[in-house]
C-alpha cells in the first residue's frame, strides 16, 4: 500500500464515541464527580462534537436508552447535526430495573420478558426518529447458582425475543448483539461468548451481527482470531473498544495492550473490515473515572488511529511471500516492522493536510472549551443513572 493509500484509508475511518463516556462514572465504590460534565444528552452531544472537531474521525455518538432519554428524539438528532455530529448506535438497557433481577428477555416470568422486549422495540422507535442504523443489544441475563434456572429454556426465551425485535427492523437497520463472559451474572451468562452470539445472529438473518467488546473475554483469549473468523463469515457488526487489565475495566482503548489492538486491526485490514461494504462499526465503550473525559476520548480515538495506521503499513506482499515459503521468522518480522513504526508523524501530517491541528490533545487543551464548560455547567450528572 502506498503512503497515499494509507492516508486515504485513515481519512475515511470513522470511530464512534459513547454518550456515557462524557458523564461522571466510577466503580461501585465511588464516583468521583468532575466539574463541567454534561447535565443532559444535549450537552453530551456537544462534548462529543469537540472530539470530532479535533480528530476529524469521530462524527457519530452512541446513545444509551433510558440514560439519554428525551421527549423528542428527532430534536435531539437535529441538535447533534447542528453541533456537527450524528446519532449512532442505540444501546438498549434491560439491566437496571428491579424487575430484571433474574433476567430480562430470558426471565422466567413472561411479564418481565414482555417488558424487556417492549423496551427493545421502543429502542427501534428511537432509531426511526434519529436515523440510527444499529440497535446494540447487551443482556446482563444469566444465573448465579447451579440449578437456579433452566439454561436451555433461557436460550429459547432469548431466541424468541430476538426474533420479535428483528422482525420490527426496517430498511438498513441492524441488530448488533454483544456478548460478555460474566458480570453481573457469575455462574451462567445467556450470551457469554462470540459463538453464542454468532449462532443467534445466524438464525435471525443478514441484518443481525456480532459486537466484539474487547473487554468481554477471559484473560488470554485470542480476540484477533474471533475478529478474523467473524469477518470471514460476514458477521462482524461492530467493536466496542476499550482496554482491560483484569475484567471489564473499560479503560482507554490501546492503553493496556497496544500490541493486541494492532493485531486486531491487522485482521480487520486483512479481512476488508475497513471497507464501507463490510459495515463494521468502530465504537468506543469506555468510562473515564479519574481522567478528564473529552481528552480521554480524544486520546482513545488517536490510539485506534495509530493501531490502524500500523496495520495498514503491514507489507502485504512480503507477508504473503514469507507465509507461503514457511518463513516463520520472516513473516513475524514483517508484522513487527509495521508495529514498531512510529506512525505519529504520518498522522500529524494527515491532520495538517485535512485542516486539523497536528496534535488534537494540545489543540483541545488550548481551545478553552474545558474552562468554558467548567464555568457554565453546574451539577453535572453520572454517566448512566439520572443522566
Q: Are 212 and 227 in contact (CB under 8 A)?
A: yes
Residues 299 to 318: which contact ligand PSV by CB under 6 A? Answer: none
Cβ proximity to ligand PSV, 43 vs 240, nearer residue:
240
In sequence order, which residues have a C-beta less than 8 Å from that of residue 350 and are 6 or more positions away? Answer: 7, 10, 11
Is 240 among the residues that bind Mn ion (CB under 5 A)? yes
Shortest reach from residue 89's CB to ligand PSV, in Å: 10
- 3-class DSSP state of 173: coil
C-alpha cell at 179: 456478548
Beta-strand pair 142-143/174-178 = unpaired
Tell me how far apart the alpha carbons of residues 5 and 254 are, in angstroms, rounded to a whole number: 24
Q: Which of 16, 149, 190, 240 binds ligand PSV (CB under 6 A)?
A: 240
Q: Which does 91 bind (CB under 5 to 8 A by kind): ligand PSV, Mn ion, none?
A: ligand PSV
Q: Which of 43, 134, 149, 213 binds Mn ion (CB under 5 A)?
A: 213
C-alpha cell at 348: 500529524
Q: Which does 297 bind (CB under 5 to 8 A by kind): Mn ion, ligand PSV, none?
A: none
Pick the stretch among 51-59, 69-77, 209-217, 374-382 that binds Mn ion (CB under 5 A).
209-217
Pick the stretch among 208-216, 290-298, 323-331, 368-376 that binds Mn ion (CB under 5 A).
208-216
Residues 207 to 236: which contact ligand PSV by CB under 6 A? Answer: 213
Rounded to a whole number, what is the largest CA-CA distance in the chain? 64
DSSP state of 234: T
Would you give the binding string for ligand PSV spanning residues 247-286, x where CB under 6 A is met? -x------------------------------------x-
Which residue's entry shows cell 455547567?
Answer: 377
Would you give the binding string for ligand PSV spanning residues 117-146, x where CB under 6 A is met? ---------------------x--------
Is 248 among the residues that bind Mn ion (CB under 5 A)? yes
Residues 283 to 302: which contact Mn ion by CB under 5 A? Answer: 285
Which residue's entry shows cell 417488558?
Answer: 115
Size of the site for ligand PSV (CB under 6 A): 8
Cβ proximity to ligand PSV, 106 vs 351, nearer residue:
106
Tell me how far apart the alpha carbons of residues 293 and 286 are, in angstroms, rounded to a whole number: 10
Q: Are 381 and 61 in contact (CB under 8 A)?
A: no
Cβ proximity to ligand PSV, 248 vs 327, nearer residue:
248
C-alpha cell at 57: 474521525
Cβ proximity to Mn ion, 241 vs 369, nearer residue:
241
Which residue's CB comes closest to ligand PSV?
Answer: 138
Q: Is the dihedral of CA 157, 159, 165, 168 positive or negative?
A: negative
Is 289 among the residues that bind ligand PSV (CB under 6 A)? no
Residue 364: closest CA among 289, 298, 293? 298
Taking the CB of residue 210, how many other CB atoms lie within 10 A of it? 28
The helix or strand, by DSSP H or E, that contains position 62, with its residue range, turns out to be strand 60-64
- 3-class DSSP state of 105: coil
Pick the stretch among 103-111, 162-170, 244-252, 341-349 that binds Mn ion (CB under 5 A).
244-252
In sequence order, which residues have a C-beta less than 8 Å from that of residue 130 and are 6 or more positions away? Answer: 63, 73, 74, 76, 77, 87, 90
Is 16 among the residues that bind Mn ion (CB under 5 A)? no
Which residue's entry shows cell 447458582?
Answer: 145
Cβ proximity to ligand PSV, 16 vs 213, nearer residue:
213
Residues 83 to 112: which contact ligand PSV by CB under 6 A? Answer: 91
Shortest reach from residue 247's CB to ligand PSV, in Å: 10
Give the CA distances from residue 338 to residues 150, 191, 265, 308, 310, in Å, rounded to whole numbers and listed in that order: 49, 35, 12, 11, 5
Q: Which of 180, 217, 244, 351 binds ligand PSV (CB under 6 A)?
A: 180
Q: Which of 16, 47, 178, 190 binds ligand PSV (CB under 6 A)?
A: 178
Contact footprint for ligand PSV (CB under 6 A): 91, 138, 178, 180, 213, 240, 248, 285
Contact footprint for Mn ion (CB under 5 A): 213, 240, 248, 285
Amino acid at each position: 500500500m502506498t503512503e497515499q493509500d494509507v492516508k486515504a484509508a485513515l481519512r475515511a475511518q470513522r470511530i464512534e464515541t459513547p454518550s456515557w463516556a462524557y458523564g461522571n462514572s466510577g466503580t461501585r465504590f465511588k464516583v468521583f464527580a468532575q466539574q463541567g460534565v454534561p447535565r443532559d444528552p444535549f450537552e453530551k452531544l456537544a462534548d462529543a462534537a469537540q472530539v470530532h472537531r479535533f480528530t476529524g474521525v469521530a462524527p457519530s455518538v452512541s446513545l444509551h436508552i433510558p440514560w439519554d432519554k428525551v421527549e423528542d428524539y428527532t430534536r435531539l438528532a437535529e441538535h447533534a447535526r447542528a453541533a456537527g455530529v450524528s446519532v449512532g448506535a442505540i444501546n438498549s438497557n434491560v439491566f437496571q430495573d428491579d424487575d430484571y433481577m433474574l433476567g430480562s428477555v430470558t426471565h422466567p416470568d413472561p411479564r418481565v420478558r414482555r417488558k424487556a422486549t417492549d423496551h427493545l422495540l421502543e429502542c427501534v422507535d428511537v432509531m426511526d426518529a434519529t436515523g440510527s442504523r444499529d440497535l446494540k443489544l447487551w443482556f446482563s441475563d444469566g444465573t448465579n447458582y447451579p440449578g437456579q434456572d433452566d439454561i436451555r429454556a433461557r436460550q429459547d426465551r432469548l431466541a424468541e425475543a430476538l426474533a420479535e425485535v428483528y422482525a420490527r427492523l426496517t430498511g438498513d437497520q441492524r441488530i448488533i448483539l454483544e456478548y460478555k463472559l460474566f458480570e453481573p451474572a457469575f455462574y451462567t451468562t445467556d450470551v457469554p461468548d462470540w459463538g453464542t452470539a454468532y449462532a443467534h445472529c445466524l438464525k435471525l438473518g443478514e441484518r443481525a451481527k456480532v459486537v466484539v467488546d474487547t473487554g468481554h473475554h477471559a484473560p488470554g483469549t485470542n480476540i484477533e482470531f474471533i475478529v478474523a473468523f467473524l469477518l470471514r463469515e460476514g458477521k462482524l457488526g461492530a467493536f466496542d473498544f476499550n482496554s482491560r487489565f483484569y475484567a471489564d475495566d473499560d479503560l482507554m482503548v490501546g492503553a493496556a495492550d497496544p500490541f493486541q489492538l494492532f493485531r486486531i486491526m491487522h485482521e480487520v485490514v486483512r479481512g476488508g473490515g475497513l471497507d464501507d461494504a463490510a459495515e463494521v462499526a468502530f465504537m468506543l465503550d469506555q468510562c473515564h473515572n479519574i481522567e478528564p473525559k473529552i481528552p480521554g476520548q480524544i486520546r482513545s480515538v488517536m490510539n485506534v488511529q495509530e493501531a490502524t495506521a500500523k496495520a495498514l503499513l503491514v507489507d502485504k506482499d512480503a507477508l504473503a511471500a514469507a507465509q507461503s515459503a514457511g518463513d516463520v521468522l520472516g513473516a513475524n518480522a514483517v508484522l513487527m516492522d509495521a508495529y514498531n513504526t512510529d506512525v505519529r508523524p504520518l498522522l500529524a501530517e494527515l491532520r495538517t493536510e485535512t485542516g486539523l491541528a497536528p496534535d488534537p490533545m494540545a489543540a483541545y487543551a488550548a481551545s478553552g472549551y474545558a474552562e468554558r464548560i467548567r464555568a457554565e455547567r453546574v451539577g453535572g450528572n453520572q454517566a448512566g443513572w439520572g443522566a
